[in-house]
């Protein structure tokens, strides 16, 4: 699912920067609920716990963590809705 610029495509962007746990995951779950099967949500978070929380969240059968990137103060996740 890479475009010509070698960036992952996504259908919706959710910026949860500045929100504390568990809000980034809860807001992501709500956003994914309104999306169709196969669509990808790109999530931007500043919460360091996101590195642990999102992979755990994506172990649910309806979601797949396609990719994650972590920088010093920003974490990006691409989550695909499977079911």
The answer to whether 43 and 79 have CB atoms below 8 angstroms apart is yes
User: Which of 35-39, 56-60, 67-71 bottoms out in mean pLDDT, i.e. has the lowest?
Assistant: 67-71
Whether the predicted pLDDT of 60 surpasses 60: yes
Instruction: Point out the catalytic residue in the list 8, 21, 35, 44.
Output: 21
Query: Model-level pTM?
Result: 0.89
Residue boundaries of the structural domains of the chain:
12-81
Confidence of residue 72 (pLDDT cuts 50, 70, 90): confident
Task: Output the pLDDT for position 22.
Answer: 93
Mean pLDDT, rounded, for 59-66: 96
User: Which sign does the torsion angle of CA 32, 52, 9, 43 carry?
Assistant: positive
Please say if 21 is a catalytic residue: yes
* CATH homologous superfamily of 12-81: TusA-like domain (3.30.110.40)
Mean pLDDT along residues 11-39: 97
Return the higher-pLDDT residue of 16 and 21.
Answer: 16
**Distance from C-alpha of 32 to C-alpha of 72, rounded to nearest angstrom:** 26
């Amino acid at each position: 699912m890479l475009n010509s610029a070698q960036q992952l495509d996504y259908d919706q962007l959710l910026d949860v920067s500045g929100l504390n746990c568990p809000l980034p995951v809860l807001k992501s779950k709500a956003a994914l609920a309104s999306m169709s099967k196969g669509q990808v949500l790109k999530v931007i978070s500043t919460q360091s716990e996101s590195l642990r929380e999102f992979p755990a969240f994506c172990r649910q059968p309806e979601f797949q963590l396609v990719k994650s990137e972590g920088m010093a103060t920003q974490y990006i996740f691409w989550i695909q809705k499977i079911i």
